[in-house]
Amino acid sequence: MSECAAYAKLQERFRRRSLIGDALGILDWDQATTMPEGSAAGRAEQIATLSVMRHELMVAPGVADAISQAIVDLDAADVCADDWRRGNLREMRRIHMLADALPGDLVEAAARANSACELKWRSARAENDFPSLLPSLREVVNLVRQSAYARAEALGLMPYDALLEEYESGTRTVRLDPLFDRLATYLPDIIPRVLERQNARPSPIRPVGPFVIADQRTLAVELMRALGFDFDHGRLDVSHHPFCGGATGDVRITTRYNEDDFTESLMGVMHETGHALYERGLPEEWQFQPVGAALGMAIHESQSLLVEMQISRSRSFLAFALPRMKAAFADAGPAWDVDNLYRLYTHVAPGFIRVDADEVTYPLHIVLRYRLEKALLSNDLDLADLPGAWNDGMNELLGITPPDERQGCLQDIHWPAGLFGYFPTYTLGAMAAAQFFRAARIAMPDLDKDIAAGRLAPLLSWLRINVHGQASRHSAEELIVRATGEELNPDIFLDHLESRYLLDN
């Protein structure tokens, strides 16, 4: 046997794991877009079965020994030991440890409960009926709690840190608590200043609909292509909640349309296109291996928010997009002006819905969810009291109270889908997005002119080299340092907010 035989066997095992994940990705996409409601029970069983198969691959006898042997082999054989292989083995070990901490019956139960609760959430949200969701959501939260405590014990972490480890390895509450406390203090202070300045200027004129859905889609597809989206390896569809999913080489994104406001759908498309560009930019030579996967959800969210917030809401991009918007909707008038659209796209107003929030108030939506998640996990908050706690938190942080549960605690799919520990990555991603974009501007002094002219390839090339193509070769912190020259710095994000919303003319 070769010196790297143990590592080669692990590669094949993780390749199979990745392919099962791809199958789950397509099943999830189908469930959210085209699956008939009557298929829900069968789909839950399919997802549960595949989830258990994937889990069993990771906890089978001999996997831990193979990882230990591969570490020894790679240390001894220079030919096998490069950054990519070491990174792959690091990720293999992390994935194995996370899986090995959970019994298979818990994985199966969670997959089945999440799938069923997600489907129940759709009707509960539409009918503004939190009590109808409560039994299935309680089951999901109970299973999340069991998983968190099992992983915490196995990994020597606090329970919420064990949840974070799945979505953003190395991130801990000891880091997030002061960061989010700072945002909870800083943003309520800056928002009145932003609103005062905003109110002293002409109010943006909102283009008047209706905007035909087919026309909205045509515009979205044109701008997706301009950003570099490859429709030979991807799709745009409709779902209750916008997302990016699918499989390796087959990226599926979704949006939801509002005929009264085309910007709602368009910004969702831009956000998900950022995710899709990241997925399509991962190195082909490391497909189906852990090191070839996206590096945690904070980096993933940084790519979606870089496209949506840093690029798509900039004057430069709007100068490029405006003629295409006017052509799509055959419209003209004072609303269809770059300065007006810029005021519209950067308009700040505390609102109830996270996905529609401006970038100044958005982090406060995350602070709220972070606090509630921790309270639910620790049993400091009973699930039945979630609507009231949500409303209290919204009033404290944003000074508004949702009029109903659909605009309150029922708005997100994450908790019904069992995604606890995910929300903090949105704000970490916003910070990284500002830092990446600043670095790109330094590297390309004419970047804003290029964007205004629709020359987006140079920026995509920079991202391919510095972010996408690096995949999981390095830790998130090291990737940020290599790309920007310093560790993640919240001040860069806050400077961006002040520059755009307090200084920009």
- Measured torsion, CA atoms of residues 195, 312, 467, 172, in degrees rounded to the nearest 10: 30
Q: Are 286 and 251 in contact (CB under 8 A)?
A: no
Rounded-to-integer distance, Cα 251 and Cα 249, Å: 6
Rounded-to-integer distance, Cα 182 and Cα 166, Å: 25
In the annotation, is 272 catalytic?
Answer: yes
Give the CB-side neighbour count of residue 497, counting CA atoms within 13 A. 22
**Measuring CA to CA, how many Å separate 354 from each of 253, 259, 407, 491?**
19, 20, 9, 23
Active-site annotation holder among 91, 118, 166, 272 = 272
- pTM given for the model: 0.92
Q: Are 307 and 277 in contact (CB under 8 A)?
A: yes
Per-residue pLDDT in tens (0 to 9) along the chain, 505 residues: 355 789 999 999 999 999 999 999 999 999 999 999 899 889 989 998 999 999 999 999 999 999 999 988 887 766 556 889 999 999 999 999 999 999 999 999 999 999 899 989 999 999 999 999 999 999 999 999 999 999 999 999 999 999 999 999 999 999 999 999 999 999 999 999 999 999 999 899 999 989 999 999 999 999 999 999 999 999 999 998 889 999 999 999 999 999 999 998 999 999 999 999 999 999 999 999 999 999 999 999 999 999 999 999 999 999 999 999 999 998 878 899 999 999 999 999 999 999 889 999 999 999 999 999 999 999 999 999 999 999 999 999 999 999 999 999 999 999 999 999 999 999 999 999 999 999 999 999 999 999 999 999 999 999 999 999 999 999 999 999 999 999 999 999 999 999 999 997 6
Give the start-to-end residue ranges of the domains of the chain: 5-174
DSSP code at position 422? -
Residue 290: count of CB within 10 angstroms of its CB: 23
CA 21 to chain centroid:
17
3-state helix, strand, coil in the chain (%, to 5): 70, 5, 25
